[in-house]
Structure 1
Amino acid sequence: MSLQNVFHHRRVAEGSAKACWICNKPSTSVLVTPDNKDFFYICVGHLQDSKFCQPDADEVAAAAARKRKEQLDREVEAVKKEYEEKQKRKLEKRKEQKKDKDKDKYSKKQDDEDDKRDEKAKDDKILELSMSKDDPASSSGGPRIYSLNKSFYQMRLDRIRNAEIAKRNRERLKNPASFPSVPSGDP
């Protein structure tokens, strides 16, 4: 009955929600051991409580890295979109200027310089975003591997032990050979 103090966080469908082990509110979050010997439903709020369980350190770092990468991807997309919109506006402006026939060489050089400046600004902004720091505590996905605190872990072990004892007692009661025999001698 060696149950390790490692639990994986899983989500179930809304229709399969059951009572939280701590507060009895309906919950769709489940903590399961890797070997599926033990599981219990738990609220997400309890998972964030440091007095109930601690997330695995490697898992926290990985979740923070995933969150940071997602944020950087969103920011890079926003910068690219902004740059493309600027280029569209410039293109429209150039088309208007072509219609005006009184365009000279000076304005053409200035447009080329503007293009170079905008491209450099875009590259600088992307570099700046990739260098910026992010807060690892604010991860939406959150960690998926937890270890329970000592007292809660002991409660889980006691629950499993009591269930095994109850099962053994039920089997003994079903077996007639476990009862004593009727005395055969005279009183």
Structure 2
Amino acid sequence: MSFQNVYTLRKVAENAAKSCEVCFKPSSSVLITAENKDFFYICPSHLKDKGFASPVIDKAAEEAKKKKEEEEKEKKLKEEVERVKREYEEKKKKKEKEKKDGKDEKDKDKEKKKDEKETDSKDDKDKDDKDDKDDKDDKDDKKDKAPNTDEPRVFALQKFVYQQRLEKRRQIEIAKRNRERMAAPGYFPSVPKGAP
């Protein structure tokens, strides 16, 4: 009974950890086949060993991930453009309102200087707020991406290790068949009933 050499990494609760197949230390990481025919506990450090297993890269998943990241960037860019447009419209309305009020030129000059100082300070505050927001967004993005990018989820065992898993599975099947045969009533010979 064979199975494909494609194992998916799963995590179990810490209290359900069992010994690693290689080093026998408690591990909460499990490699399991798609059909659930074979599974074993393994330490995450062994998965990084190229002599044990190699990650399987799913190109479709990688492309979907890149596409999603590009869409998020475009969305942020559109939001930024909308924000800048609103600010520009507000400033434009403010200037038109000042023209309608018909203030003296001296008052206008004083207000312009004052507005420039205020806009500079507002721009500095906006930049600081924006930087803080970007930093928070970057941290959130890193938190979201960290579990997905730190370690791959699908592995292919090296040929030698895979052959060991197949052999172990065959031995389990043979032992199970032998137990069933031994439990059958006609397996052992009966005691002789006649005289010797």
User: Is 1:146 matched with 2:152?
Assistant: no
Matches within 5 A, 1:7-86: 7-58=7-58, 62=62
- The 8 Å contact of residues 31 and 40 in structure 2, kept in 1 or not, is answered as yes
Q: How far off is 1:118 after superposition?
A: 7.5
- Using the alignment, how far apart are the partners of 1:19 and 1:113 within structure 2? 63
Matches within 5 A, 1:100-115: 104-105=110-111, 106-112=113-119, 115=122
Q: TM (normalized to structure 2)?
A: 0.58
Q: How far off is 1:109 after superposition?
A: 2.7
Q: How far off is 1:111 after superposition?
A: 3.1
The aligned counterpart of 2:141 is none
Deviations 1:127-151, CA, capped at 9 Å, x for gaps: xxx9xxxxxxx96541111110001
- The 8 Å contact of residues 46 and 52 in structure 2, kept in 1 or not, is answered as yes
- The 8 Å contact of residues 2 and 166 in structure 2, kept in 1 or not, is answered as no
Q: How far off is 1:183 after superposition?
A: 8.4
Which structure 2 residue ranges, 5 or more long, are not aligned? 81-108, 139-146
- The 3-state SS of whatever aligns with 2:54 is strand
The aligned counterpart of 2:95 is none
- The 8 Å contact of residues 51 and 158 in structure 2, kept in 1 or not, is answered as yes
User: Is 1:2 matched with 2:2?
Assistant: yes
Deviations 1:36-89, CA, capped at 9 Å, x for gaps: 111100000001111111111127x74xx58xx6xx99xx9xxx9xxxxxxxxx
User: Is 1:164 matched with 2:173?
Assistant: yes
Matched residues, percent identical? 45
- The 3-state SS of whatever aligns with 1:178 is coil
Q: How far off is 1:3 after superposition?
A: 0.7
- The 3-state SS of whatever aligns with 1:2 is coil
The range that moved more, 114-123 or 50-59, is 114-123
Q: Which has the higher helix share?
A: 2
Which structure 1 residue ranges, 5 or more long, are not aligned? 81-102, 131-137
- CA spacing shift, 1:116–1:55, aligned 2, 3 Å: same
Q: How far off is 1:112 after superposition?
A: 3.0
- Using the alignment, how far apart are the partners of 2:162 and 2:173 within structure 1? 17
Structure 1 or 2, whichever has the larger Rg, is 2
